[in-house]
Structure 1
């Protein structure tokens, strides 16, 4: 089976372009610089409008956070793909959203509901009541759409994809998982164990979802639904951030089971459930022979694009 690589360095590119424009480090640096610059610019505009102040309405605060996240990552990614890699961003094709995006949303809901179900059977998760007036707006817009789109573009669309193109699938899985875990070490109530758990259960799982489907919509849907289901529905902290959900809940038992103050993502249950799903995806990749091997050089054409596969 041919390697499904989105971008290959043009064979005619001179040495300086290969290092300063087309290399993995250069493309990641270009994306990062554009994203940071756009993020600060949008934040400044919204601050001047009062949307970042303490007096801002919940809707303004939610839309401000979403605008900063999306403007930075989406525009930076399109600039990287269209101007540097000079290809169509097929991994973000809107035609793939109905199938892969909705499948991702359903998968995220089912996976995290399985985690909660096992915690409930183990006597760790308890429903105390129902909050019919829950403020779901920030959870859906920021923890759901914002984190889902922003983090997946950065971690899977940029870091994993580019690392896979240069170093192969195995190294890309390891590198992107480590970065994803480290990115959560500064969250409230985070511990070395919670970051390790996030790296394995989410970092590897979401990277394999992208590897198998070759579309970011599946990753975005799963990530968004995971956060919304966890916080907005089941009332469990999302990566250490307190969440008030539709269900008023509590968790008891040792931290290795309940996840402690960080949330169920730090539970061994989440680790086992997600690792099981990752194992299924890895088996699919191995059967398809789609694992990209590390090679010293890849010669190429700039027009080879990844195509979502079913």
Structure 2
């Protein structure tokens, strides 16, 4: 027909559907990756300790003393466990790392005031928590295993342990507890319950490192609550890391006093 178009009309262009928003961490994967971090410490620590003892028997005059060797084992163990854990977190939740909302991990830029406030809380927490621990301990001495091993090492080895105790350990634990776990709890129960539950879990999971001394757990719960509150209020994980690092830095001062 004369009025027929030369070519049939093209169908309307359809835009590709936006990819679905990636949900926050789930129960199974969060529990597994936290468990994996501590399992890695157990496996790596056991293997490196065996290697250290074997070398000491084979070359008794050419290896450092027992205290220094133990610090080396701890440094390598925590560094290895941290590297594997952070790699797993990045591969699994890389899209959520820079999100500051409830489902994200909070690697967003903080303000200077937030960082300073976080560091101040990190100094206040062990002061309050230490008084609480002394009251509950009823005169018993409380010390984490890392503090005990540092007492038996030379000063140079204690200095070498500082970056692990102040930076590496807190970074991994903040990613796990104020990143994955807090995001999981916030999206299920809201901010208040998430802060409380994550803080309790953070304190209880350190019980083996405290030699089963339950009366030291409230101190760590307080630190966990401060860090979780900072993460929620600031929208960033960095102030929580500043709080955790300052808390550990204050504890390490006893290594040199």
Q: By the TM > 0.5 criterion, same fold?
A: yes
Please list every run of 5 or more consecutive structure 1 residues that lacks an aligned counterpart in the other structure: 1-9, 125-130, 236-244, 248-310
Q: Find the partner of 2:247 among 211, 216, 226.
A: 226
For the pair 1:28 / 2:49, whether they are aligned, the reply is: no
Cross-structure match for 1:182: 204
1:109 pairs, out of 95, 117, 123, with 123
Structure 1: distance between partners of 2:209 and 2:240: 21
- CA displacement, residues 144-179 of structure 1 (integer Å, 9 cap, x when unaligned): 223211211111111112110122112212321221
Shift of residue 34 of structure 1? Answer: 6.4
Deviations 1:164-197 (A, max 9, x none): 0122112212321221122122233443332244
Q: Distance in 1 between matches of 2:121 and 2:200?
A: 23
Q: Distance in 2 between matches of 1:114 and 1:224?
A: 17
Equivalent residue for 1:198? 220
Unaligned runs of 5+ in 2: 1-17, 57-62, 100-105, 134-138, 140-150
| Residue 212 of structure 1: aligned partner | 233
Which secondary structure state, in structure 1, belongs to the residue aligned with residue 209 of structure 2?
Answer: coil
The DSSP-based 3-state class of the residue aligned with 1:92 is coil
Structure label with greater radius of gyration: 2
Matched residue of 1:206: which SS?
Answer: helix
C-alpha deviation, 1:97, in angstroms: 8.8
| Shift in Å, 1:105 | 3.6
1:77 CA drift (Å) = 2.0
More helix per residue: 1 or 2?
2
Q: Deviations over 1:181-215 (max 9, x none)?
A: 2212223344333224432x122222111111122
* Residues 170 and 241 in structure 2, CA contact (< 8 A), matched pair in contact too: yes
Counterpart contact for 2:122–2:247, Cα < 8 Å? yes
Contact kept, 8 Å, 2:110 with 2:234, in 1: the verdict is: no
SS in 1 for 2:233: helix
C-alpha contact 1:176 1:203 (8 A) present in aligned 2:
yes
**TM-score, scaled to structure 1:** 0.50
**Cα shift at 1:225:** 1.5
- Does the CA contact (< 8 Å) of 1:62 and 1:141 recur in 2? no
| Length, aligned pairs only | 202
Q: 1:189 to 1:27 in 2, by over 3 A?
A: closer
In 1, distance between residues paired with 2:165 and 2:209?
Answer: 13
